Chains A and B, each alone.
Chain A
Amino acid sequence: MLKVNNINTFYGQFQALHNVSFKIKDGELAVFLGSNGHGKSTLLKTICGLLSPFSGQIEFNGHLINKLKIHNIVKLGIVYVPEEGHLFPELTVKENLLMGAYNRRARKDRYRNEQLVYSIFTRLEERKHQLASTLSGGERQMLAMGRGLMASATLMAIDEPSMGLAPILKKSVFKKIKQINDEEGLTIILVEQEVEASLDISDKAFVLREGKIVLSEDSSKICIETIQKHYLV
């Protein structure tokens, strides 16, 4: 469903991605690993339209999306769950979720999706009339993912969801991601630092180093040592 072909992305003069190509099939859970600053987040932002690639193509369900604006990409069914959450602090949890269903396709499903989110993240239902700024770190991550679910997307790109969470919360976040992938059938691209946990839940793994894909393999066939090798700078 997603075909990325030779993309190059720049920040000003600095090239963050070099000829990155890969394919992801429907329903897969793919993880991108690698050290900080090696282009993982840049890759997600390029796919989701927050950054536009200098060259190369991104094809999603037959549509070329690398020149589209982000709101049109969301309409096609790709949703981005950013690392910092980018929640709306002065809106309530419920309002944040409803904003997640802003695109026209999702808007008619918003009540059903809202119930779905509450059934996966039960804490959010208890907190639904609270402002997002009053949530704890773990709850914010839940809300960010819940808001992503509201978009009725078929591809969800999640950027370091376990970042800054306590170990027990990390575990539950990974469980929820797996659950969304299995039960809701969403294709997921995950960017992570937690190598073991993300290999456990994913089907496919890629390692990025200095903006290039240096390893792509089925998650079950990868051993930790090969990945560690690529982490050495």
Chain B
Amino acid sequence: MLNSLVNALISGIILAGLYAVMSMGLTLIYGVGRIFNFAHGFFILWGGYLVWFCSVKYEMHYGLAALLVISCAFLSGYLIDRVLLYPLRRRENFAINSVLATLGLAILMEGSGDVIFGTRIKTIDKIVDGTLIWGQFGITYHDIVSLGITIAVLLALEAFLRRSVLGTAMRAISQDTDGAKIVGINVDALYSFTFGLSASLAAVSGILIAPRYFIASFVGWETLFKAIIIVIFGGLGSVRGTFISALILGMLEAFVSMYLGMFWVQPMWFILLIVVLFVRPMGLYGEWA
């Protein structure tokens, strides 16, 4: 009884960390640039694809491959904003156009992933093999490493947003875009930077998640839906809300799959989401836009 409770708690914390990193990019780019990025799930998936490509196909060192993929993700995020979204921002109906553009990008990334990497389901090795067993409790080394990385990434992100000039400028844009322009912030450059940051956060989570499951193109949509539920639950655009919501939903998933079975995880997520949206339509920490 006790050991299954503790095991559920541990796996809940690990899932929460993964979910937080997974959805943080989505909420960040919405908060700063008011873009709902439907390609976010495929940024996560492509993180997995590319690490598989580098480490399995080309036998590159795992850590090196991860660093390479994360910097590639930043660069492509930056360029995607510059090429795809910057021109749309100069026109009317940006809210709708950006949804169409990112949805198109998602479909493009789904299809091209199949073409480039093949449709076979891929797996990659865990970062570290083995399981730490302590009495009746077990936790894989991979999960320990991934928990450490997610905590470090979230703390670094928090420090960046709170303490650095650039991070404060990102918060400033999300609160008053005209005010940000007036003080001399180059908002277009910062939108692109935020998109790059969002893509690299997606890549980090993709790299950590891929060894736990498998890599296939349909995973992109599933991941996107999970991330959408997490950010809507927490309040779109709120970093703190997303963190809390990832914690709650990660725990919920761990406990539900432990006591009711995997099948009940998604229904429970939706039930909780509906209840929360019924009471607080803007989500836990959301504001009305």
Contacts and interface: CB of A to CB of B under 8 A. Distances in A.
A147 interface: yes
Contacts of B185: 71, 99, 102
B181 A50 contact: yes
Interface stretch (A15-23, A32-40, A56-64, A80-88): A80-88
Given A90-B171, A98-B165, A107-B165, A70 B181 contact: yes
B171 A71 contact: no
Contacts of A70: 181-182, 184
B179 A87 contact: yes
B184 A88 contact: no
Contacts of B183: 74, 99-100, 102-103, 147, 151
Interface in A89-139: 89-91, 95, 98-100, 102-103, 107
Interface string B164-190: 010011011001101111111111000
A86 B178 CA distance: 7
Nearest to A69: B186
A199 interface: no
Given A70-B181, A74-B184, A99 B176 contact: no
A91 B182 contact: no
A91 B184 contact: no
Contacts of B179: 82, 85-88
Interface residues of A, number: 26
Contact of A50 (B169, B172, B182, B187): B182
A87 B176 contact: yes
Chain B interface helix/strand/loop/mixed? helix
A71 B175 contact: no
Interface size class of chain B, counting residues whose CB lies under 8 Å from the partner chain: 10 to 19
A167 to B, nearest CB: 27
Contacts of A151: 183-184
Contacts of A107: 165
Residue of B172, B179, B180, B187 with most chain A CB atoms under a 10 A cut-off? B179
A59 to B, nearest CB: 20
B175 A89 contact: yes
A30 interface: no
Contacts of B176: 86-89
B163 to A, nearest CB: 10
A170 interface: no
19 contacts: A50-B181, A50-B182, A71-B181, A74-B182, A74-B184, A85-B179, A86-B176, A86-B179, A87-B176, A87-B179, A88-B172, A88-B176, A89-B176, A91-B168, A91-B171, A98-B168, A100-B183, A102-B169, A102-B184
Given A88-B179, A90-B175, A151-B183, 12 more contacts: A70-B181, A74-B184, A85-B179, A88-B171, A88-B175, A88-B176, A88-B180, A90-B171, A98-B165, A99-B180, A102-B183, A102-B184
Q: Which 9 A-B pairs have the closest CB atoms?
A: A74-B184, A86-B179, A103-B184, A71-B186, A88-B175, A88-B172, A71-B184, A70-B181, A102-B184
